[in-house]
Structure 1
Amino acid sequence: MISVGLALPGPTLAQSTSHRRAAGQAAAVRAAATPAAVSTPSVPPTGAAVGSGRTVGTAASGTLMGMSILPDSGQTETVSVTGGMSGGNGVTNTTPGGGLMPVERAPRSQSGMTRDYIAKQAPTTSIDNLVASLPGVVSAKIDPLGMFPNDTMTMRGLTQSQIGFLFEGAPEADPLSYVTFSPTLVDNENIGSVTVSQGSPDLDGPLLNAVGGQISTFEINPSHRMGGYVDVMGGTHSGNKEFARFETGDIGNSGVRGFVSFSYTSANNWRGPGDQFRYHVDSKFVKEWGQGNSIRFILGFNRQSINAMLNPTLQQWRQMGDHYNLDATYTPGDVNYYKFSQVNSNVVNIVAPMQFTLTKELQLNLTPYYVHEYGPQVGGENIPVSGGYFGAATYGTPGSQYGALTQPYATNGYLTALLNDPWNQKNSGLNSTLRWTHGNNTLTFGWWYSYAAHTERYQYDLVNYAGNPVTGYGLNPVRLSNGQILSGDNLNFWQQVNALYVSDNIKLLHDKLQIGGGFKAAMMYRSGTNNLPGASPWKATGSYFEPLPQFYASYQIDRHDQVFINGTTAFRAPVSVEAYTPDYDPNSGQIAKAGSLKPEYSIGEEIGYRHTGFYNFSISLFNLNLTNHNISSSGYIPGSTSPVAEPINAGGETSRGVQAEFGLGYWHHFSPYLSGQYLHSTMDNNFDAGADILPTKGKISVGSPKFTGAIGLQYDNGTVFGNFNLRYVDSQYTTFMNDESIPSYTTSDLTLGYRFRSIGPARHPQIQLNLINIGDVHYLAAAGSTTGNAHTMVGMHGAVVAGSAPIYLTGAPFAAFVSMSSAF
């Protein structure tokens, strides 16, 4: 097992490749568990005000695999407010809890947010950080702007790679590592609504990893009126963002309307040398006709580059705090030079949801999608001139078919080089649903097909004594004596998914009682090769068939009160390419063995109650049993800034707990919000550490804080507005043996703003101040890796198991950003 106690640059761990991503910064060994399953609409709420993403003054409408989310079309759920408004940024001040508690009717634990909350956060805030106040969610903010693409969020103790992520109904997680880099998806100004299901994924959702629930995000709807919106931001760490959106309005009598937006964001790293920048394009066009017919076309593009920051062990954090960083200047052989550690994320994202009313009783939904992600990712490593490895073969040794490396700039028998990883991944699919409603019964049939391909062969770019690539990035790779490119990976990986599902829902007792159930048959085939000399196995395949039943029921006591219960299942196929083919390195030879091919499988149950009205309250109890917990442990290749993942089957886990949230409608312009969760998550098996067995059965799962909570308060009188959020996260273990942990921490953010009267073409211009971490708390936000034990100990069979110190992600400090925006 690779040591994960190295304290080297973090974002290099959040690689955008299948196996590099699996080595993500949050490091993927937070062994925990939580419920799964159920289903919410794969189409956005109807009747939403422009920019709100939710129905103004009513509950969001839709269906849950045929289960009506609203009590009845004639039973409008009113929300007491002091008066709605229509701001240029989509704020209406109609959502209780300051925008954090829209009315929910799904028979499962579910929370959300609208523009009333989203628009008052810093313009660069990512989806991961937006949901940080919702019950059960822990989102580690390691960058004040929220731009770092990292797997840093957990929900009920499960990692981000165990949470399904839908954007306009399409899956956005990497199909192999399941990590979602939400900063690359959509600009904050274009997010209409976000819905979080803490334990249960949609049965009809195109997801293969949602054992811990799902997050669904929708963009704002284009306006019927031609116009635009601009937002300009500046602040600490030279942070800045320029955003502009153009709305076409209704285009003649075509029934088509749309928007296109562009943004540029940049900042200096808040600690250590380096910077970051991001170019982003969003566009959305809508065609509507007849009764319930629509086609939406969403196209997004993202180009982003980030210099990494150095992640410490607990001891290094205590000694150096924020000063433990990469090196700003280069000396020969120094792989910790900051220019050697870069994350480049390029994404093309296309989604085209379609809804057709075929007859009065028959509805067809189609969601085709295409996601293209590519690098390069850059790290640093010293590679041996002779005696090194090319796959399982050696070079520069007696009897080897490969001679010693002959490139210049050698120092003490090593060449300093950039590990340049130009990974390339394409993922496409179609999710189709046919829904038949007859009387009080709704029957749903569906099919999801997906195909993903991933290619990757990294190379080593030689650098000179000044630390610069000799002929530029990717132009002159280090080659062996026979001309072959030196590499540790030459991957060609693909997967194909077919999932068939059926569900039935019936309404009884004047539609107050709804009972539903469904079944999903998920079929996946994977094949991967590593075409390096001696790779064993050089080719591997995986074939999976998983039956996924669900049951759910709800009873609408009256127009304000509802109870629900559900039993759900979900699965996640093995994480990362290393679950199939091994990794190699010029210094060490084989560094990661193929892991277990058994998929995770979860069985979850929930029972809950919610009240809606002027005050809104929800509470739910949950239980989850998880088998074959697939963990992609991560660490750096010794002597490099290049990560590696190693799949581990950690056995079973059990998670139980209770979550609750409370929010008021606007009262004298104030709207408060409270949320909290108690979680008890334990490992069900002892852990095989290689040298011996560790007695981990009954230990608290890694990354599973016992208590989490949030307090929010919003004020908005239409002219002056403010928003305050305080979050508490209990201590979290970072080793399976519970011998090292992250201390508990509390952070808070504040928003202050003022809206001006319209001035000429400028509608509702405003100025907004966002203060991040207003107490300037210095803290460790999350585990960058996890290990079996931090301290050396004797295993169950008497052998010594060496300790390995986890590395940690450092929480973002105080930051202030001022933005000015206006609609036109």
Structure 2
Amino acid sequence: MKRTHLSAAIAMACCMSVGVAMAQTANNDQTQGSQSAAGSQQRVNASSTSNTTTSNATERDVKQMSAVTVQGQSLSLGGGLMSVQTAPKAVSTITRDAIEKASPGSNFTQMIGTIPGVNAATDDVTGLANGHYSMRGYDSSDIGMTVNGAPITDTGSYSVYATEYGDSENMGDITVLQGIPDIDMPDSGASGGHIGWATIDPSHQGGVDFTQSIGSNDYRRTFVRLNTGDTGPVRSWISFSDNTANMWRGEGDLRVTKVDGKSVWTIDDNNSISASLQYSRQSNDEYAAVTKQQEEQLGYNWSYNDTWIPLNNLKGSALKTAATDDENYWALHTNPYKSYMFSMDGEFKLADSTHLSVIPYFWYGDGGGGGGGVAQESTSLINKYLYANVDLNGDGQITNSTKTNFSGGTVYAYSSALTYRPGVIIKANTDLGMDNSLEYGFWYERSRKSQAEDYGLVNPFTGQPDDIWLNSSYLLYPGGQIEQYYDEYTTTELKKGFVTDNWTPNDYWTFQAGLAYLYATRTGFAFDYPNSTTQTSTNFNNNWHRILPAVGVKYQLDERNQFYIGSGKTFRVPSNTAILLDSLAGVNNGAPEMTWNTDLGYRYYGDTISGSADVYHSNYFNKQEVGYTEQGSEFYTTIPHMDMRGFNGELSWKLAQNWTVYSSYTYTEATIRGNLDGGLGNAYDGGNGIYPTNGKTMPDTARNIGNLSLGYDDSRIWATLNGRVTSSLYGDYANTESVGGFTTFNFSAGYRFGDWGWMKKPYIKLNVTNLTDHEAYSYVYSATLLSKSTDATALAKYLYASAPEYGLLEPRAFVLTFGTSFQ
């Protein structure tokens, strides 16, 4: 195939196939797209997140930024762990330099672990088991997220599943706004900050990039990217990766396939269009979250049951006990999911003073999580929930189950979601003069989401579900309807208008003021136990709207020193689950989460030392948590007020010509103000009541986090040693259970060879995590209102208590990688 035809084919694939990727070739020219803010006189676009907060900069700002950035480019800012920033609020960026030295399967949650304010962890260092992160005490569902300018947080829960999004070879840079999202961000749930990352632009040089990795727990990864190079005004790349690993704890596998792509059409010097796609398909098993009691009694490597108890030779109570135990069989705890995202970015110069950016996108996701359940055999024609006219235990007959003579078996419980999410962001920037710039635009999105928990058949002899995706082999009622726990449908419409004015009256001062108006509507319906004799249902139509201001002031003393203060208001539209549960429970708790964030900071960029320091304060209102009605039904209650304050700092020191030191420190106080009303249920150990949370610390919030990294790079050999210290975490809101802090060390090293004929820039690298093989609870998987620890005995006498669950730090693991380009 001729190269021109190949480029057209890839461009069409990017525009029609839907998906996205993040890739980096060994070619240096590919990194230029992700560094457009460095020394460029153009404002940034979706191909870069570096200094993305200056997209509305004035002409004077752009010249100042160029001078400051050029000054910063002469430094080695922590080997890519730190970047020059100019926004009047807290911002940090991880660049390509750091990303290319990380383990190639790493997802974005692992990349941002050193950023001040961020606490990140993962169940598996391969990057194939998503990840967990929080920021300044806000959990991940309170943090906005974009890729190439398009939003990827779940439309209903605001969760982000990091494994879905791209390969590290394709990542350009990652920017974290620790407190105040930009006014123009497409966020409806970002009460606590924003994360954005971008894919690299295609290279001007054609060829093939290849990476092969092997590692602990039979980790195997193959990555291939085809670069068309320049084919007229269009250049493209498309990549494929196959990723597999055994789970380090318990039985099961991780299996993920990704296809990513990007095309850029350079119309002329002032106009361009890019198209990106990301596709991911995973059929993973799940890691079991553990309580402290489980870990202490069953060991650090405990997980779901690895032995299935065959059901065919059992009767009555013995059969019921076995079926209940088999609910925790590892093969039932699955996480199949497929998603793709297509986005475009049109950058157009409408006039000498006006620039237009148009980002349409479409996101699709289908999949969910599996578990176990117990159903009973029945020949009845009545639709009784979790009764079925099926031989569930494999004894060759259907026996009516009774209270005294149980007959049934284990079934596959599959909770899934199907999402269609189209939207568009349009914004323009008009220079009103050398000193004044106005950015304005709107965001519109209308998503549809179906959620259900269905039941499927399980082989009673082996414990394997007939279909982990549950496209067939359903558990059915006599009339042929699928047996479900719930069936829900939500349409969410988001409208946001925004305007920001940036004024730089001289070379020292920058004043920024912005205003956004967000209007959100959720409509739909929900059924509990649909088509059964106990069916309940509800319809809902809710809307929320808020005016969201933001202001910032920066004083640029000189090219080295900056001072700034910024403040902004954010709010979070209540999640799907909150709306659905409240509607089913007949409760009206429609108050959205809302935050006022304020940053006060200083930045210094010197010849050998650069650093930033930021103190912040956030007033956080109406944090949503689950409570119970008098009938024991779940609904969403709120923590009326939280007080978040702390310090974030980072420092880069060029120790010698080839040596760099990077450190970051995070101090966080996330204090609950007031007691939490958990509802007045009577179905849970005496019911929920008022929990004594006033003055307590938010669960899963480390008071102190420190990172220290020592790096060497002489352009041929490189090595990095990183240490991280994390303080203790509370597992419940009443602070009656905590897990201790821990320290970990990671090591990476590599060698860059010279060209070997048609093999260009081959390299080899080794990544080792948890060098000391330390064991620790790494994050809180599910926080409870009150733990069941002995410290909570007195409270547990009159308040419902349950054990928090945690993730565990993976033991020492290594990944060995070889990569090269063919041209």
Same fold per superposition (TM over 0.5): yes
Q: Deviations over 1:640-698 (max 9, x none)?
A: xxxx9864422210101111100134732111101001111110120123332122111
Distance 1:470 1:235, change over 3 A: closer
Structure 2 contact 51–85 (Cα < 8 Å) conserved = no
Change in Cα spacing, 1:794 to 1:536, as seen in structure 2 (3 Å) is farther
Aligned counterpart in structure 1 of residue 606 of structure 2, from 603, 610, 613: 613
The one of 385, 392, 417 equivalent to 1:423 is 417
Could you tell me how far apart the structure 1 residues matched to 2:817 and 2:226 are? Answer: 19
Match of 1:115 in 2: 96
Residue correspondence of structure 1 range 495-514 to structure 2 within 5 A: 495-509=492-506, 511-514=507-510
Which of 106, 112, 121 pairs up with 1:140?
121
Question: Which deviations, in whole Å up to 9, do the C-alpha atoms of 1:51-88 show, x marking residues without a partner?
Answer: 25225975856663523565537635334789xxxxxx
Whether 2:347 is the aligned partner of 1:355: answer yes
Match of residue 272, structure 1, among 250, 267, 274: 250
Cα deviation, residue 632, structure 1: 5.9
Equivalent residues in 2 for 1:658-669, closer than 5 Å: 658-665=647-654, 667-669=656-658
Trace 1:145-294 onto structure 2 (pairs within 5 A).
145-150=126-131, 152-251=132-231, 253=232, 255-294=233-272
- Partner of residue 392 from structure 2, selected from 409, 423, 428: 409
Conserved 8 A contact 2:766-2:816: yes
Q: Identity across aligned pairs (percent)?
A: 27
Q: Which amino acid aligns with 1:759?
A: W
Aligned to 1:689: 678
What does residue 758 of structure 2 align with? 761
Aligned partner (choices 757, 778, 782) of residue 781 of structure 1: 778
SS of equivalent residue, structure 1 residue 104: coil
8 Å contact from structure 1 (residues 701, 736) kept in 2: yes
Question: CA 1:72/1:216 → structure 2, altered by over 3 Å: closer, same or farther?
Answer: same
Which 10-residue stretch deviates more, 787-796 or 744-753?
787-796
CA distance in 2, matches of 1:654, 1:704: 13
CA distance in 1, matches of 2:88, 2:386: 66
Structure 1 CA distance for aligned equivalents of residues 53 and 268 of structure 2: 20
Letter in 1 for 2:330: Y
**Among candidates 814, 817, 823, match of residue 815 of structure 2:** 817
Contact 2:332/2:464 (8 A) holds in 1: no
Task: Return 5+ residue gaps in structure 1 as ranges.
Answer: 1-47, 83-93, 387-394, 584-589, 639-643
The number of equivalent residue pairs is 737
Q: Equivalent of 2:290, from 287, 312, 320?
A: 312
With over 3 angstroms needed to count, the CA separation of the structure-2 counterparts of 1:646 and 1:276, relative to structure 1, is farther
- One-letter amino acid matched to 2:598: E
Q: Say what the alpha-carbon RMSD is for the aligned residues.
A: 2.7
Q: What's 2:9 paired with?
A: none
The aligned counterpart of 1:524 is 520
Kindly indicate which of the two structures has a greater share of residues assigned to helix.
Answer: 2
For the 8 Å contact 1:566–1:605, the answer to whether it is kept is: yes
Contact 2:37/2:51 (8 A) holds in 1: no
Q: Is the 8 A contact 2:618 2:644 kept in 1?
A: yes
Q: Give the TM-score of the pair, scaled to structure 2.
A: 0.85
Could you say what secondary structure the match of 2:163 adopts? helix
On the 8 A contact 2:731/2:805 being kept in 1, the answer is no
Deviation string for 1:592-641 (max 9, x for gaps)?
Answer: 8867322101011111110113221100110000111123699xxx9xxx
Alignment of 1:90-129 (within 5 A): 95-129=76-110
| Residue in structure 1 matched with residue 447 of structure 2 by the alignment | 452
The alpha-carbon distance between structure 1 residues 778 and 424, as it changes in their structure 2 partners (threshold 3 A), is: same
Q: Deviations over 1:346-377 (max 9, x none)?
A: 01111101111100101111111111000153
Q: Is residue 368–residue 431 contact of structure 1 (8 Å, CA) maintained in 2?
A: yes
Show the counterpart of 2:804.
806
- More displaced 10-residue stretch of structure 1: 466-475 or 762-771: 466-475
Q: Which amino acid aligns with 1:67?
A: A
| Runs of 5+ consecutive residues of structure 2 not aligned to the other structure | 1-27, 41-49, 312-322, 394-400, 680-687
Equivalence for 1:568: 568
Aligned partner of residue 161 in structure 1, secondary structure: helix
State the SS of the aligned residue for 2:141: helix
Candidates 690, 702, 705, aligned match of 2:702: 705
Which of 320, 344, 364 aligns to 2:336? It is 344
Is the aligned partner of 1:492 residue 2:499?
A: no
Inter-CA distance 696–146: structure 2 relative to 1 (3 Å threshold): same
Q: CA deviation at 1:491?
A: 1.5
1:483 positional shift: 2.4
State how far apart, in whole Å, the 1-side matches of 2:87 and 2:477 are.
60
Instruction: Label 1:465 to 1:745 Cα distance change in 2 as closer, same or farther (>3 A).
Output: same
User: Matched residues in 2 for 1:697 and 1:500: separation?
Assistant: 37
Q: Helix, strand or coil: the match of 2:365?
A: strand
TM-score normalised by the chain length of structure 1 = 0.85
2:391–2:408 contact (8 Å) kept in structure 1: no
Q: Are 1:371 and 2:363 matched, yes or no?
A: yes
Aligned to 1:602: 595
Q: Which has the higher contact order (CA 8 A, sep 6+)?
A: 1
SS at match of 1:580: helix
Give 1:579 shift: 2.6
Task: Check the 8 A contact 2:126/2:219 in 1, yes or no.
Answer: yes
Report the AA paired with residue 735 of structure 1. D
The answer for the alignment partner of 1:657 in structure 2 is 646
Q: Cα deviations across residues 405-459 of structure 1 (Å, max 9, x unaligned)?
A: 2111248333311113453111110011121112111112211000110113332
CA contact (8 A) 1:576 1:647 kept: no
CA deviations on 1:252-296 (whole Å, 9 max, x unpaired) are: x3x111111100000000011000111101101011233332111
Q: Give yes or no for contact 1:537–1:581 (8 Å, CA) kept in 2.
A: no
Match of 2:327 in 1: 335
Maintained 8 Å contact 2:383/2:477: no
